[in-house]
Amino acid sequence: MNGSTGQQQGAARCHQSSLAAVTSTEVAVCPPFVYLCDVAGQLQGTAVALGAQNCRNRALAPTPVRSPPACSWISACRYVIVGHSERRAIYGESDTLVAKKFAAARKAGLIPILCVGELLEEREAGTTEQVIARQLDAVLALEGIAAFEQAVGCL
């Protein structure tokens, strides 16, 4: 959520020129929501995709949270990040809530980028695999394995 419109557009231009030669991998940038339209304009006509940083777990969202349809209304927006470690740790987003966001994103026609991972304390306790399995299981229980065909994972 940092930077100005100019900084976001500059970063988009930088990514655009840096990634021009990348053809075997799809690349997306996820700027803060307030800059989605500006960055969408900068990326128009390029192979770099656009994504949002977060969304609500249902179609209607209270201010200032973005609903999945609000993200998808920005025509260039194809992705949305759910389950980011900051959202889990600072805002207490549960695995169940993240799974609901994942489902809401898919329903709105977006490709969810599912972030999974452990806290430092969990890593030091040797529970990394259990934590990640629990996070994935919440999505699997709600959406099933087929949902991952149109999703991206981020560790």
Chain segment 66-115, per-residue pLDDT in tens: 667 666 666 688 999 999 999 999 999 999 999 999 999 999 899 999 99
The counts of H helices and E strands in the chain are: 7, 5
Angle subtended at Cα 151 by Cα 150 and Cα 155, rounded to the nearest 5 degrees:
160
CA distances from residue 114 to 49, 53, 92, 100, 154 in whole angstroms, order as listed: 16, 11, 16, 11, 6
Give me the CATH topology for the region 54-154: TIM Barrel (3.20.20)
Predicted TM-score (pTM) of the model is: 0.83
Compute the residue count for the chain: 155
Q: Is residue 118 very low, low, confident or very high in pLDDT (cuts 50, 70, 90)?
A: very high
Per-domain residue ranges of the chain: 54-154
Question: Is the per-residue pLDDT at 46 higher than 90?
Answer: no
